[in-house]
Amino acid sequence: MIVIAVDCMGGDHGPSITLPACRRFLETHPQAALRLVGLPEALAGFEHPRAHIVPASEVVGMDDPVEIALRRKKDSSMRVAIMQVKDGLAQAAVSAGNTGALMAISRYILKTLEGLDRPAIAGQIPNAKGLATTVLDLGANVDCSAEHLLQFAVMGSALVSVLNDNPSPSVGLLNIGEEVIKGNEVIKAAGELLRAAGQAGDLNFYGNVEGNDIFKGTTDLVVCDGFVGNVALKASEGLAGMMANFLKTEFSSSVWTKVAALVAYPVLKAFKNRVDHRKYNGAALLGLRGLVFKSHGSADELAFGQALNRAYDAAHNQLLDRVQARIAHAAPLLMASSGKVLAGEGVAVP
């Protein structure tokens, strides 16, 4: 039985979305159980033989500063949900709440895995192949060194191997061009580390990729810093939203325009479905001593359900063990690169 702790109060909509999504999830996953965390009055009335209500007296607001969430709201639904993982009562936690607060609380409670400096947020962006490209970091780390990008690649490879049942996912380093000589000093140094990892058998490194390669599906995984990754994520969500709004727009009274719209509608609708970010909702907070998944704050029932699916698949396929195994395999290279930074070089070099 896979047990998932759910912060039912998080996100823009709270229990009005999370509870229906949880009920549907339980109906479709007979080998799963949920620990629903939230204000007792908000969860009253939810009954299911595989659901357990866990009370919390506080809620982390979407605009709450990290300091407030971490130090003052110690009985928040977000924190209590993560504590379920730490205490061994659940194998994973899911929240649609404040991203900064979720990362800070998760890191404080669960701690980072040995051999890693920082956790990262990994999510999926739909691509032209009808699949999705996994990208990290998506916003947890704005400034990254070369060795951080190497760590992201190692963790991300483990995630993709679980999500796509692919033992050797291809890894691309996001850059302004494919050539080795392009990019700033951090990216060049990261490229050297990733190539060394590829030669050592720790990664299936493809090389440098550009922004359009994310949407083309050139590689299974794309590694970048959190600033660039978050911009790419928002751009993909904006494209999906634009297409949805376009299909809702009333066409002009021109007969020819209506005819053209009628012909194009099936194609446009199929494209909208392909780039629908709700189907890929659920970003993993990688690098922690426990599984935590972040749902989009504005997620509807379908999207939040997908985040639950991601958490279930990760726990069922032992993602945490796979991440630890890959880190252990790559430990010599990770330690060597970190040692050069600690020696004062500032940026890891080969």
- pLDDT tens-digit profile of 27-71? 999 999 999 999 999 999 999 999 999 999 999 999 999 999 999
Maximum CA pair distance of the chain?
71
Task: Report pLDDT for 271.
Answer: 46
Give the E-state strand segments of 85-241 in sequence order. 92-95, 120-126, 132-136, 170-174, 204-209, 221-223
Over residues 272-300, the mean pLDDT reads 84
- Nearest 10 degrees: CA dihedral of 117, 118, 124, 128? -60
Do the Cβ atoms of 240 and 275 come closer than 8 Å? yes
Q: What single-letter DSSP state applies at residue 343?
A: I
Give the angle subtended at the CA of 179 by the CAs of 175 and 181, to the nearest 5°: 90
Give the E-state strand segments of 86-244 in sequence order. 92-95, 120-126, 132-136, 170-174, 204-209, 221-223
Task: Report pLDDT for 346.
Answer: 38
Task: Report pLDDT for 174.
Answer: 96
**Residue 304: is its pLDDT beyond 60?**
yes
**Range in 201-210, 218-227, 337-346 with the lowest mean pLDDT:** 337-346
- pLDDT tens-digit profile of 77-102? 999 999 999 999 999 999 999 999 99
The one-letter amino acid at 203: L
Task: Report pLDDT for 43.
Answer: 97
Bigger pLDDT: 329 or 250? 329
- pLDDT tens-digit profile of 109-149? 999 998 888 899 999 988 888 889 999 999 888 889 999 99
Q: In angstroms, rounded to a whole number, what is the distance separating the alpha carbons of residues 286 and 159?
A: 8
Task: Report pLDDT for 148.
Answer: 94
Rounded to the nearest 10 degrees, the angle between the axes of helix 255-274 and helix 226-248 is: 140
Share of the chain above pLDDT 90, in %: 67
The pairs formed by 263-268 with CB atoms below 8 angstroms and a separation of 24 or more are 268/243
